[in-house]
Amino acid sequence: MNKNFDVIVIGAGHAGCEAALASARLGCNTLLLATNLDTVAFLACNPSIGGTAKGQIVKEIDALGGEMAINADKSLLQMRMLNRGKGPAVYSPRAQVDKNAYHINMKRTVENTPNLHLRQGEATDVQLGKEGDFTVKTAVDLVYTAKAVVFCCGVYLNSRTLVGECIRDSGPNGFANAKYLTQSLVKLGFNVKRFKTGTPARVRLDSIDLNKTAEQLGEEDSTPFSYITDSIPAAKRSCYLTYSTRETKRIILENKELAPIYNGSINGVGPRYCPSIEDKVIRFADKERHQIFLEPESEDTCEFYVQGASSSMPASVQEQIYHSIEGLENVEIMRDAYAIEYDCIDATQLDNTLMAKHLPGLFFAGQINGTSGYEEAAGQGIVAGINAERYVHGKTPFILRRDNSYIGVLIDDITTKENEEPYRMMTSRAEHRLILRQDNADLRLTESGRQIGLVSDARYAKYLCKKQQIEQCEKQLNTVVSPKAYGPLFEKKNEPISGAGLTVDEILRRTNITAADVQSLGFFVGADKDALYQIELNCKYRGYIEKEREAIAQANKLENKPLPQDIDYSKIDGLRIEARQKLDKIRPKNLGQAGRILGVSPADIQILIVYLAQNIHNR
Instruction: Please check whether residues 188 and 207 belong to one and the same domain.
Output: no
- Report the alpha-carbon distance of residue 213 to residue 237 in Å, rounded: 15
pLDDT value at position 518? 96
Instruction: Please check whether residues 206 and 327 belong to one and the same domain.
Output: yes
| Integer angstrom CA distances of residue 407 from 308, 316, 383, 404 | 26, 41, 9, 9
Q: How confident is the model at residue 618 (pLDDT cuts 50, 70, 90)?
A: low
The alpha carbon of residue 269 and the mean position of all alpha carbons in its chain are separated, in whole angstroms, by 20
Instruction: Please check whether residues 333 and 211 belong to one and the same domain.
Output: yes
> According to the 3-state scheme, what is the secondary structure of 455-494?
CCHHHHHHHHHHHHHHHHHHCCCCCEECHHHHHHHHHHCC
Q: Cβ(144)–Cβ(3) under 8 Å?
A: yes
> Which domain range does residue 331 map to?
202-341
Strand ranges, E, within 436-568: 480-481, 502-503
Domain ends where: 405, 431, 452? 452
**Quick one: what percent of the chain has pLDDT higher than 90?**
88
- What's the pTM value of the predicted model, to 2 decimals? 0.94
Q: How confident is the model at residue 558 (pLDDT cuts 50, 70, 90)?
A: confident
- Report the alpha-carbon distance of residue 75 to residue 99 in Å, rounded: 8
Residue 552 sits at φ, ψ, to 5 deg, of: -65, -45
Average confidence (pLDDT) over 579-601: 92
Instruction: Please check whether residues 401 and 524 belong to one and the same domain.
Output: no
Q: Is residue 555 part of a domain?
A: no
Neighbour count for residue 325 (Cβ, 10 Å): 27
Q: Is residue 141 part of a domain?
A: yes
Q: Report the candidate in 51, 42, 48 with the shortest Cα–Cα distance to residue 78.
A: 48
For the cut 90, the answer to whether the pLDDT of residue 347 exceeds it is yes
Domain ends where: 341, 376, 408? 341
Contacts of 153 (CB under 8 A, 6+ apart): 10, 11, 178, 181, 366, 367, 368
- Report the alpha-carbon distance of residue 124 to residue 145 in Å, rounded: 14
Residue 491 sits at φ, ψ, to 5 deg, of: -65, -45
Q: How confident is the model at residue 436 (pLDDT cuts 50, 70, 90)?
A: very high
Q: Is residue 457 part of a domain?
A: no
Q: Report the candidate in 3, 8, 4, 2 with the shortest Cα–Cα distance to residue 388.
A: 8
Instruction: Please check whether residues 183 and 261 belong to one and the same domain.
Output: no
pLDDT value at position 1? 67
User: CA quadruple 473, 478, 484, 487: dihedral positive or negative?
Assistant: positive
At 513, which CATH number?
1.10.10.1800
- Report the alpha-carbon distance of residue 353 to residue 386 in Å, rounded: 9
Q: Is residue 458 part of a domain?
A: no
Q: Is residue 598 part of a domain?
A: yes
Domain ends where: 494, 515, 547? 547
Summarised one tens digit per residue, pLDDT across range 302-345 is 999 999 999 999 999 999 999 999 999 999 999 999 999 999 99
- Report the alpha-carbon distance of residue 520 to residue 590 in Å, rounded: 50
Instruction: Please check whether residues 427 and 292 belong to one and the same domain.
Output: no
Give me the DSSP letters along 18-41: HHHHHHHHTT--EEEEES-GGGTT
Contacts of 322 (CB under 8 A, 6+ apart): 201, 203, 306, 309, 328, 331, 333
Q: Is residue 556 part of a domain?
A: no
Summarised one tens digit per residue, pLDDT across range 419-428 is 889 999 999 9
At 415, which CATH number?
3.50.50.60
* Angle, helix 54-64 to helix 374-392, in steps of 10 degrees: 30
At 614, which CATH number?
1.10.150.570
pLDDT value at position 617? 54
pLDDT value at position 270? 75
Give me the DSSP letters along 513-550: --HHHHHHTT-STT--HHHHHHHHHHHHTHHHHHHHHH
For the cut 80, the answer to whether the pLDDT of residue 268 exceeds it is no
Summarised one tens digit per residue, pLDDT across range 224-265 is 999 999 888 888 999 999 999 999 999 999 999 998 878 778
- Report the alpha-carbon distance of residue 440 to residue 92 in Å, rounded: 12
Residue 501 sits at φ, ψ, to 5 deg, of: -70, 145
Residue 284 sits at φ, ψ, to 5 deg, of: -115, 65
Instruction: Please check whether residues 444 and 471 belong to one and the same domain.
Output: no
Summarised one tens digit per residue, pLDDT across range 500-536 is 999 999 999 999 999 999 999 999 999 999 999 999 9
Instruction: Please check whether residues 215 and 316 belong to one and the same domain.
Output: yes
- Report the alpha-carbon distance of residue 443 to residue 556 in Å, rounded: 20
Q: Report the candidate in 59, 17, 50, 69 with the shortest Cα–Cα distance to residue 404.
A: 59
Q: Cβ(531)–Cβ(473) under 8 Å?
A: yes
Neighbour count for residue 402 (Cβ, 10 Å): 25
> What is the total count of domains within the chain?
4
- Report the alpha-carbon distance of residue 134 to residue 151 in Å, rounded: 12
Summarised one tens digit per residue, pLDDT across range 572-587 is 999 999 999 999 999 9
Instruction: Please check whether residues 173 and 254 belong to one and the same domain.
Output: no
Secondary structure class of 220 (helix, strand, coil): coil
Compute, in degrees rounded to 10, the torsion defined by CA atoms 106, 109, 375, 204.
-10
Instruction: Please check whether residues 44 and 140 belong to one and the same domain.
Output: yes
Q: Cβ(316)–Cβ(323) under 8 Å?
A: no
Q: What is the residue-averaged pLDDT of the chain?
A: 94
Q: How confident is the model at residue 220 (pLDDT cuts 50, 70, 90)?
A: confident
For the cut 80, the answer to whether the pLDDT of residue 2 exceeds it is no
For the cut 60, the answer to whether the pLDDT of residue 350 exceeds it is yes
**Residue 160 forms beta bridges with which residues?**
341
> According to the 3-state scheme, what is the secondary structure of 89-129?
HHCEEEEEECHHHHHHHHHHHHHCCCCEEEEECCEEEEEEC
- Look up residue 273 and give its DSSP letter: T
Contacts of 83 (CB under 8 A, 6+ apart): 52, 90, 91, 92
| Integer angstrom CA distances of residue 242 from 22, 69, 219, 239, 444 | 41, 29, 20, 10, 39
Specify burial of residue 214 (Cβ count, 10 A radius: 0-12, 13-18, 19+): exposed
- Report the alpha-carbon distance of residue 42 to residue 339 in Å, rounded: 17
Residue 317 sits at φ, ψ, to 5 deg, of: -75, -35
Instruction: Please check whether residues 28 and 150 belong to one and the same domain.
Output: yes
Q: Is residue 372 part of a domain?
A: yes
Q: Is residue 523 part of a domain?
A: yes
The amino acid sitting at 360 is P
Instruction: Please check whether residues 268 and 130 belong to one and the same domain.
Output: no
pLDDT value at position 616? 65
The amino acid sitting at 89 is A
- Report the alpha-carbon distance of residue 371 to residue 381 in Å, rounded: 12
Q: Report the candidate in 172, 180, 118, 126 with the shortest Cα–Cα distance to residue 150.
A: 126
